[in-house]
Every structure is written in C-alpha cells, then in structure tokens.
Structure 1
Amino acid sequence: MFQAIKTPNRPFLFVFFCFLSLSLFAVEPGTRTKVCSLLEPGVPADYFLSRAFREQVDGFQSAQRRKAEDSKLSFERSVGFLDSYHSCLKEVGKEPSALSAETQSLNYLELGNLEKAWEWSELATGKSPEVTKDLVLLQTRIRIRQGELAKASEVLESSLHLFPNDPDFLYLLGNINFERKNWNQSILYYTALSFVIERRDTHSKYKFLTAKALGELNYKLDYPKISIKRYNEYTNAYKNDMEVLFRLAQIYFVLGDFKHCRMYLEQIREKNPRDIDASHMLAEIYFMDSRDTAPIYFATLKKEKKIPKAGIIFYLYQLISGSNEGLETKLKTYIQENPGRLSPRIALLELAEKEKNPDYQTLNAETAQYAYEYRQYYTAEKILRKGLSEINLKENSDEEKTLFYEKISSCQEMLGQWNHAVMSTKEALRLTKETEKTFRLRFRLAYLYLQGNLKKESLSVSVLSETLKENPTPTHYYLRGLAYFQLEKYKESVKDFSEAIKLDSKNYNYYFYRATAFDKLKQFSDTESDLKTTIALNPNASNAMNYLGYLYAEKDMNPEEANQLLNQAVSLEPDNPAYQDSLGWVMYRKKDFNRALLHLNFATSLALERGFEDPVIYEHLGDVYLAKKDPVNALQFYKLSESKRKVDPNKDLTAKIKKVQKEISE
C-alpha cells in the first residue's frame, strides 16, 4: 500500500561546474606545468572531477527520459573520470575527498555495484567533516537496495538526532519498519512525522501517505478509533480508495458499530457496483443487525444476481426466505469449515429457536461467547438477553440465570457501561447459592468498583475484606492492594501485596505493584529490590525497566544501567510515550540535549496520538530547552505543563516559570 522507498538525488552542481570550467583558463602565462601524468601541462586535476560531474548529470537526465543504455554509459564514464581524478591525487600524495568519494558511491549505486557503492560511501563518511543529510540518505539507499532493511534503519537512526524533524528521515524509518513488520517501531516514526507535518510542513508530500499508514498501523495495533480518525484524514483527499473504505467498514464491524459499517459498504457498492465482497459483507451485516430490512436487501442481491448457489450468503437467503429444509446440516458443516464466521452461528441459533430445539440454551451461550470473542459486545448481550428471557419461563433456574447475568456484565464492561455491569453482577450475586460462584462474583464486583469513572475504592475494599475472611487468595489480596493504592493508603497496600507474595512468590506483578507503593512511601531500597525481582521473574517486564531506569536518572545513580534499562524498555515498546519520556530524561541528565529532544518529541507526539497530554513531558522539554540556552521555548513548554496539571500547582514549576520570565525580560 505504500509508495516505493525513494530519496531525492544529490543537487546538480551546475554552479560548481561553471567554476571548474573557468578554473581551466585561470592559469597564468608561463606556468603551464604538468600536474598529472594523465593530463596535458597546465590542465588541473579538477578537470576530471568536472567531467565526472557532467557525466553523472547526463546519467540522471537520461534515466528520467527512460534511456537506460545512455544512462548506464554516462555513469560508467563518470566512474572512469573519477578514477583518473583519484589517480592524479595519488601522484601528489593526496587521497579522495569526501565529495568525490560520495559522487563515486552514487555512480556505483546507479550501476548496481552495491559493494563498491558502500565502500565509497564509507570513505566519504570518514572524510566528511560533518554528517550530511545527502550522505546518510545515500547509505540508506544502498542498504535498501542490498535488501538489508535492518541496516538501513540503523543508518538513519544513528543520525536522526541531528535531523530530528526531517520528513525524509522519518518517512523512510516508518516505511522501512513497516516493511519489516515492526509495527510499534513504524508507528513511532509515522506519528512523529505527522507531528512535524502538522506543525512545520502542512503541505508536505508525505501528508496523506502518513495518514494512510497511521490508519493501517493503528488498526494492526488495536487502536481502532485512532485508525478511523487517520483513515478519514486520508479519504478527505482520496475518496475512491476502495481498499481504505473496506478497511473502515471492517473496523466499524469490529467495534460493533453496524450503522457506520453499512454506510461504508454502501459507499463501495455505489462507487463500484461489481464489488462482490462488499455486497456479501453488507448482506451479513443486515442479517445480524437489521432483520426488518434484511429481506429487502437480499431481494436486491437476488435481482443483481449476486446470491451464489452455495455458501453462507445462500444459506442466509434460505433462512430469510423460509426455506429451512436441510439448512441445519448445511450451517453446521459450514461452521465446521469456517469457524471464524459469526453470521452462520447466529443463523443456526435463530433456526434452533424457530424449531424449538431442546439444545437452544446451550447454543445460545456458545453463540454469545463467539460474538464476545469477536468483540461484538452489543450482539453478544442481545443474544444473552434473549436466552435469559427463555430461562425466566423455567422454574428453579437461578443458577443458570446467574451465568447469563455474569456474561451480560462482561459485555457491559467492554462497552464501558460500568454502572450497568455492577448492577448485572449484583443480580448474579443475589441469585447464586454456590460458594465458588459467590467468591468469583464478589471479586468481579470489587474489580468493577475500581474501573472507569466509578471511583468506589472503599466499596471495593469492603467487598474484598469480606471475601478474604472466608477465602484468602493471592488475587484477592492483590486487588485489595490496588484499591488501597488508589485510596493513597500505601502502608496497607504494601501489606496486601506482601500477603499476595507469600501465597504466590513467582508472580512478578505483585512485586511490581508493591514497588510502586514502596516508592510512594519513599523507601527507595525496597522499591529498587522489588523492581529488580520483577525483571528477574519476567525479562520482558518493560514497565519495571522503565520505572527503575527513571528512578536512577532522577537520583543521578547508575547512569549506564539507567540508560541500558530504558533502552531495553523502549526496544520492547517503542511507541510507549512514557518510555520515550524516560529515555529523553536520561539523555538530558547526560547533557546529550539533541537526543533528549528527539525522544521527548517522540513522547509528545505519541501521547497526542493516543488522546492525552502529559504535563511531565512538557516540563522535561522546558528543562532541555533551558539547558540549550533557549528560554523562549523553555517558557512555552513550562506554561503548557502548568496548564495541563489537574492537581495543585507545582511549586518547582512555578519557580522555573518566574526565573525564565525574568531572564527573558532582562
């Protein structure tokens, strides 16, 4: 879906050619000495360099005119002239310059001699007094042509701190990592690029490519709402991209938003009436979500001759038309062959209901479970409520009802309906008489009290305390420890996490959360110990690596270990804004201000992409700009940090603002 990776060629050096041409005639009379055995007396060695440049320009121009043979001959002649130029330099004890080496590398790249191209680019790098954008991009192109995408990424990343806002660097890094299927790394660079485009280059050639890339990446990484936002930015300019319209329909299907799903599928049908996939997907959506209008849509498909003679669309059409003979067997066979489809399961459930199948309740629960697993929470709840209405007609069915209410509560939780989820869980608790179910439902109720905007930590503690008297399990102590932590009762929190550890000493989460409570109590050695234990138990515990690395940085302790921990955390989750912030802070402490800004800007752009702004990141940016003797930008970020703080004003931040304001006024 992405454009081929291309970078701009080096600028044509017409002015330099003119200068070189004039220099051939600048020799004073009587001084026509032989400067190179390959040249006539009085002709400088730069003659060969000038001819090499001219041939290279001809090579690029021929390539643009699609004259491959002429282009190849020009690049070969350029190589020859540069070889002669370097021979002349050797005769007087000189080596190739950075410019001539880079030019020769580019010649070999165009000729497909990648080994020679890399050798000359390395020589150019060694000779160059500073890292240049053209040379970095040249080496990147060579690595890409070699198929060494990881090495191409390394070339760019090693110099990114020198060109932190360069769209070409960020686009290439996003694209390369996408090709390597490093989705988290790719989203990091594309998000940073979007940030640059929005603030510095609103007419960038990468604007819509970046929006499309972020749409796909956020879809892959399960950020569907951000994916929709980015795809919509893209479709504002490219309204007829059927691939993207179909992807939007898929995302809305995953979210259970059938209304918008239908809208995009209908757009595809309107723009491309021959699109069978969109027509068939729309048929399944109508069947599952809009049974009143489904017969009309299926009649339209019949008229358009888009109903096949077999398969799920045909079976759904049979059910809607009332042709149920042999349909149960066909649906069961189809489900067995296609276990990932939801519509045939719903069709089989509807058929069972119509035919009064005695296994209806079992089938209802199974179908709802599949809908839940496919994240169709509205559909799952609707199925469960229909099953519950059937059970209500039975006597002595309280335990069955308990299971249905518990599952309905799970659907409501996933939909963010916290109060409804609590009510359903309470109803399940009221109905059950079984001890194990009671313990499980109490745990769930206590968990729900801590979620969303309920903020009923005290009720959570009360429910868990009651349960712990009868059933002291590590998970109950752990959850109560979290509740105490939210209540800022850190001593009680530590005590409960410790009890959980006594009962299950191998669970790394218990140590991590006890470390956070120890940190609030200013017990650094205990915090450090628990974080190290977390990492020992789980070598991929990026949260513990970030926490410990940041603590070390804050206390100016173990700088190398802090750097190692944070780099490891970032390598595990490169698109985590908190980790990028921590790494930026370590770079600030090391006085590596360019790299600090790079990572802090990554953190800012990632946080904005996820829909929040972190005042800590803004304050860190202010600190870095102040260290770089840029009080204007420092003040801007300090004030931004102050405006985003939801708690009482930070005295240290207020003092910084006053100090910088005074510095600027003076």
Structure 2
Amino acid sequence: MFQAIKTLNYQFLFVFLCFLSVFPNQADPNPKEKVCSLLEPGVPSEYLLSRAIYEQIDGYQANNRKKTAEAKLGFENSVSFLDKYHTCLKEKGQGPSAQSAEIQAQNYLELGYPGKAWEWSEIAKQNTKEVTKELVILQMRIRLREQDLTKATEVLEHDLVSFPNDPDFLYLLGNLYFERKMWNQSLLYYTALSFVIERRDNHSKYKYITAKSLGELNYKLDYPKIAIKRYNEYNSVNKNDMEVLFRLAQIYFVLGDFKMSKFYLEQIREKNSRDIDASHMLAEIYFLEARDLAPQFFDTLKNEKKIPKDGIIPILYQLVNGRTIGLDEKLRNFIKANPGRLSPRVAFLELADKLNDPDYEQINAETAQYAYEYRQYGLAEKILKRGKQRLKPTQVEEQASYLEKIANCQEMLGQWNHAILSMKEANVLSSDLEKKFRMRFRLAYLYLQGNLKKEKVSVDILSETISENPNPTHYYLRGLSYFQLEKYKESINDYTQAIQMDPTNPNFYFYRATAYDKLKQFPETESDLKKTISLNPNASNAMNYLGYLYAEKDMFPEEAKQLLTQAITLEPDNPAYQDSLGWVYYRKKDFNLALLHLNFAASLALERGFEDPVIYEHLGDVYLAKKDPVNAVQFFKLSLSKDKQTSNKDLVSKIKRVEKEISE
C-alpha cells in the first residue's frame, strides 16, 4: 500500500552549463587564481558541484531506463565529485552546504548505504536555514530503506507542524501507520488528508485512494456506516473493484441489511461470473433471510457447478431440499470444526425444530446468542420469538427469560418502546427477585435512551429498587438520571453512595466529577478526576477532562499538555481530545501546533458525522491570535451556524468586533 516519494534535485544544474564556457581553447593572457588544490587555476569549486548534480541526474535517468549498472556508476561518480567539492570547501575553512549534503545523502541512499545517507541528511538539516519538505521526505525514505517504519513515522511527525496541510505528508503518515497496523493513528491522518482535499485540492491524486483507505479503517474500527459512505465514494469511480464490492456486502451483512448485501453480491456475480465467494455468501443469505427463494438459488448454483463436495454449501443445499437423512451428524461435525459460523447453527436449529429435538430450547438459546454476537439482532429476535412460541403456558420463568433477551435485541435495533414493553412483560411474569432487580435496572436504563427523555420514570424505578436492594450500580444509574435532569446535588449524593459501597470503581468518581464541575466546584472536580486516573491509568476521558480544565483556567500548562498527550496516545482519533490539546497549545501561544490539532479535531468530527461549534470557535480564536481576522471570522460564523443554542451573545459580539476590524 505504501508508495515512497523520490525527490530529484535539479538546482545548480545550470552552473554546469555555464562552466562549459569556462575552458576556451585559446590561451588566457591573464593568469588565473587557483581556488582549490584539486582544480586547475581559474576553475571555481562549484564546477565540482555541478558535475556531481549532472552525474546524479544521469544515475536517475539510467534507473528509469532500468540500466542498473549505469545508474550505479552515475551515483558513484556523483559521490566522487561531491567528495572533491567538500575537500575544496574544507580548504577554504568551510563545511558542506545544505544543498551538497542533501545531494550526497540521495546518492548514498540510491547506492544502498542508508547509514551514510542518514549522516549526510543530518548535516543537510543542520546547515539549512529552513527545513524543506524534500529533505524531510528524503529522511523518511532513508528510514524505510533501513526497514524501520517507526523511525520513518517519527521523521514525518517531527516536522509535520511545518507542513500541516501538505497532502504528501498526511498520505505518507496514514500509509505508514496502516502498514504498522495502528488503525486509529492511520485514520487520524487519512481523515485530515480528506479534510484538506475537500477544502483545498478537490482534484488531488489521493482523493479516491484516501476514500478507500478510510473505508477500510472505519470498517476495522467498527464504524460500519461511515465505512459504507467512504467505500461508495471510492466505488463511484472504481466500479469494478471486486474487493470493495465484497467488503460492502460483508458490512451490510453484519448490519443485518441482507437486501443491500445481496445487491453488491449480485453485482459481483454479474461482473465476474466465475466468482465463488460471492456466490456462496449469497447462498447463505438466501438461507438465513429468504427461505422461500433459497431452493431456487441453490439450484442455480448447482447448474453453474458452484456447489462443492465439502463445506457448508452442500449441507445447506441438502436441508433446503428437505433431505434430512444424515444431516444431524454432518451439521454437528461442521459446527465442531467451525464454531464461529452462524449459518450452520441456524441450520442445526431448523433441523432440531423439524425433528422435535428434546434439546431444542438449549439449541435455540445458543443459536440466538451467536446471532446476537454477530449483530444479527433481527435474526436473533426472530429465533427467540420462535423459541418462546414453543414453550408451554406453565413455563413462566422461561417465558420471562425469552422476553428479556428479546428486549435486548430490540434495544440494539433502536426499538426502545418495543424493548420497554418486552422488559415490562418479563418483569411481570418473573417471580425471581434477583432477575426482577436485573430487569428493573435494564428498564430504567432503557428509559434514558434515544429520544424518550423519561429520566423521571427512570428515577422512580431505581428509587423503588434501591429501597429493596441498595446496589452501587443502581445508585450510579440514578445519579446519571439525576444528572440528565440537571439535579446535580442529587446526582453527587448518589455517586457518593455508590463510591462508599464500591470505592475502587473509577467510573463512579469520573461521573461525580462531571456533576461537581456543573456546580463550579473545581477542587472536588479535580480531586475526583485524579482519583479516576489513579484507579484506571488508561482513563483517557478523565485525562482529557482534567487537561482541558487546566487549560481553561490557565493552570499547570505542562501538566495539561502531558495529560492530553497521554489521552491522545490512547485515542488519537478522538476529536474532543485533539480539540483539548489544540486549546492547550493556544493558551501556550504555540499557534501552529494549536492549528494542527484543532484541524485534526474538525476533520475527525466531520468524519464521525457531526460538526462541533466549539472546535470551530477555537479555530477562529487561533486565527485571530495569528492576526488573520478573515479566517477567524469565517470560523466564528461557522461555529454560530452549528450552535444549537438559541443565541450565543458572546460569539455574536466577537464576530461584530472582528468584522469591524477588517473593515477598518
């Protein structure tokens, strides 16, 4: 996936051409001064530099023609001329120039001596007034030649602040982290690259490869809907990429959208009639989702000679055609060998139903659990409802258990009201007190979800439960309910009760800190956040919260930076954390680093499908501090347009003030 960028250096080539006129055949009546012991009188030392450049260009051109021996000779000659040039400089009491050192580094890299190449690139870096993009990328290539991806990454990140919107830098960093299988970091840079492309370079050579990479990264990081969006963006101009079409089918399968999964699988079959994987996946979908059409599709596969002798496909083909002889043993053996496959378990459940297997209830529960774990919530719900129908009226507790599981499936499908009804029915049916406590907790939790906004109902349920069973998780959830009701004192009291019962749970301290913060009780907020981090060294949310508070209050700038850097190390693709670190740099008046991280924050938020007005206002503040009022007012207005508050008087006032400054 990685593509290295080569940089040719053509500066000073004209010098060589000029020197062609330095040696006329006729004698010069005026004696020339000898500037270097290695050169004839009157010949300047820059002649050696021009020859070195000429030989290097010859080496690159030979490389392009795949003339390896000629290329090697060209680079070796270039090294030789540069050595002589540097000797001449030494005789004058001078060291290598940044330009000549960089050329020598390029030569040694092409000759396969990365150690020497690195030494010369460092000399170039030390002697240059301003580090160039070409020099940084050269150093990255040297580290790659050493097969050290980590150091190659460090080279680019060290100087990224000087090239924050450079597509090559962002692409290379995204690529390097992808190669290192560090998906969150790769997503960060590819997202930033996409942000740059959309706003600055819409015709970038990286546009569609970036879309494909973001599709893959969002898929790996479990953002399936964003992955679909990115893959479709890539697919709009690369319609025959079978890998992407198959990945889209897989994502829709995982989301339980069999219709769309079939859509892409059928595209693959149309474009590549010999494809086997898409045909077999399509067969499994027909079996799981459209049983009435499954026999016809399996017959089609048979006619296409795509039903193999082994595997799950011939087993499913036997079942859909009603031939059950020997199927029980085949399915048991296949499931034992492939415990993670869903379709054989569904087939085994169907067979158990047909044969009226006495273990049907257990098989049903196991199959539903596998479907749930595969996020096939609709299928899991369907299986559970079928299992519940088979129960006898006297099996009341079993019915309650089925309803509880059905409610869980409905919750995951976002069907909050259906989930509440199922959980209520389960709670009425059950006489098991422990089970009732658990179901009440889930019911209280459901009332807080979606757009229901029934925090008061949640509080009432939990209050009744706490009176019978004062459990720390019950206090914790009621504290959360009070918090959403903006009853922060009551929220703090409940979190405190939870802490007294379980003083080692970091979440209780974190959420109490958020309530203290709402009441402007900073010492208590700080204390609880520090306690959260001490109990959980990976509590990035607490690190971000405390670091941002320090920045807002202009307190402990170094500690704030350390906390937020640690949070970003744990979650580099979290837009809130990038925003917080950007704000710390703003407070430290390091505006370039502030812009770098705030742009990361804005691009990540956009990738997640939302635009945060706070991030945009922070960007405006940084541009204003950099004395760029035009960009500042643009971001202030963007922030105002995304702010859901009815009015933000401070921001409106700020916009008017900056616009007045621009007009004057």
TM (norm. structure 1) is 0.98
| Match for residue 413 of structure 2 among 388, 412, 415 | 415
Q: Is the 8 A contact 1:20 1:46 kept in 2?
A: no
Task: Tell me the residue number matched to 2:480.
Answer: 482
Show CA shifts across 1:156-176 (max 9, x none): 111111111000000000000
Question: Is the counterpart of residue 158 in structure 1 residue 174 in structure 2?
Answer: no
Task: Tell me the residue number matched to 2:261.
Answer: 261
Show CA shifts across 1:603-651 (max 9, x none): 0000000000101001100000000001111111111111111124223
Question: Is the counterpart of residue 58 in structure 1 residue 55 in structure 2?
Answer: no
**Percent of aligned pairs sharing the same letter:** 70
Task: Tell me the residue number matched to 2:77.
Answer: 77
Change (3 A) 1:12 1:427: same
Change (3 A) 1:19 1:129: farther
Show CA shifts across 1:449-476 (max 9, x none): 1111111111111110010000000000
Show CA shifts across 1:380-424 (max 9, x none): 011111112222xx1212211111111111111111111111111
Q: What amino acid does structure 2 have at the position aligned with 1:509?
A: N
Q: What amino acid does structure 1 have at the position aligned with 2:437?
A: F
Change (3 A) 1:571 1:16: farther
Task: Tell me the residue number matched to 2:554.
Answer: 556
Question: Is the counterpart of residue 389 in structure 1 residue 389 in structure 2?
Answer: yes
- Distance, in Å, in 2 between the alignment partners of 1:90 and 1:282 is 73
Change (3 A) 1:449 1:38: same
Moved more, 265-274 or 131-140: 265-274
Question: Is the counterpart of residue 309 in structure 1 residue 309 in structure 2?
Answer: yes
Q: What amino acid does structure 1 have at the position aligned with 2:395?
A: S
Show structure 1 runs of 5+ residues with no match.
none
Task: Tell me the residue number matched to 1:403.
Answer: 401
Q: What amino acid does structure 1 have at the position aligned with 2:370?
A: Y
Show CA shifts across 1:276-307 (max 9, x none): 11111111111001101100000011111111
Q: Is the 8 A contact 2:12 2:50 kept in 1?
A: no
Q: What amino acid does structure 1 have at the position aligned with 2:196?
A: V
Residue 17 of structure 1: how far off its partner (Å): 3.4
Residue 30 of structure 1: how far off its partner (Å): 2.4
Alignment of 1:424-503 (within 5 A): 424-503=422-501
- Distance, in Å, in 2 between the alignment partners of 1:197 and 1:313 is 45
Task: Tell me the residue number matched to 1:611.
Answer: 609
Task: Tell me the residue number matched to 1:539.
Answer: 537
Q: Is the 8 A contact 1:32 1:41 kept in 2?
A: yes
Residue 10 of structure 1: how far off its partner (Å): 2.7
- Distance, in Å, in 1 between the alignment partners of 2:340 and 2:54 is 62
Question: Is the counterpart of residue 643 in structure 1 residue 641 in structure 2?
Answer: yes
Show CA shifts across 1:303-354 (max 9, x none): 1111112221111011111211111111011101100100000001111111
Residue 264 of structure 1: how far off its partner (Å): 1.1
* RMSD across aligned positions (CA): 1.4
The number of residues matched between the two structures is 662
Question: Is the counterpart of residue 94 in structure 1 residue 94 in structure 2?
Answer: yes
Q: What amino acid does structure 1 have at the position aligned with 2:252?
A: Y
Change (3 A) 1:23 1:150: farther
- Distance, in Å, in 2 between the alignment partners of 1:277 and 1:647 is 51
- Distance, in Å, in 2 between the alignment partners of 1:11 and 1:129 is 17
Question: Is the counterpart of residue 590 in structure 1 residue 594 in structure 2?
Answer: no
| Match for residue 508 of structure 2 among 499, 503, 510 | 510
Q: Secondary structure of 1:181's match?
A: coil
- Distance, in Å, in 2 between the alignment partners of 1:642 and 1:23 is 66
Moved more, 429-438 or 457-466: 429-438
Moved more, 182-191 or 358-367: 358-367
Q: What amino acid does structure 2 have at the position aligned with 1:636?
A: Q
Moved more, 29-38 or 321-330: 29-38
Q: What amino acid does structure 2 have at the position aligned with 1:397?
A: Q
- Distance, in Å, in 1 between the alignment partners of 2:23 and 2:412 is 81
Q: Is the 8 A contact 1:371 1:380 kept in 2?
A: yes
Residue 221 of structure 1: how far off its partner (Å): 0.1
- Distance, in Å, in 2 between the alignment partners of 1:491 and 1:25 is 92
Show CA shifts across 1:120-161 (max 9, x none): 000000000111111101001111111111111111111111
Q: What amino acid does structure 2 have at the position aligned with 1:312?
A: I
Task: Tell me the residue number matched to 2:185.
Answer: 185
Task: Tell me the residue number matched to 2:650.
Answer: 652
Task: Tell me the residue number matched to 2:112.
Answer: 112
Task: Tell me the residue number matched to 1:279.
Answer: 279
Task: Tell me the residue number matched to 1:35.
Answer: 35
- Distance, in Å, in 1 between the alignment partners of 2:223 and 2:178 is 17
- Distance, in Å, in 1 between the alignment partners of 2:157 and 2:441 is 47
- Distance, in Å, in 1 between the alignment partners of 2:639 and 2:306 is 58
Q: Secondary structure of 1:345's match?
A: helix
Q: Is the 8 A contact 1:215 1:230 kept in 2?
A: yes
Q: Is the 8 A contact 1:584 1:597 kept in 2?
A: yes
Q: What amino acid does structure 1 have at the position aligned with 2:343?
A: S
Q: Is the 8 A contact 2:269 2:278 kept in 1?
A: yes
Show structure 2 runs of 5+ residues with no match.
none
Show CA shifts across 1:195-246 (max 9, x none): 1111111111111110111010000000000001111111111111111111
- Distance, in Å, in 2 between the alignment partners of 1:401 and 1:540 is 41
Task: Tell me the residue number matched to 2:574.
Answer: 576
| Match for residue 521 of structure 2 among 514, 520, 523 | 523
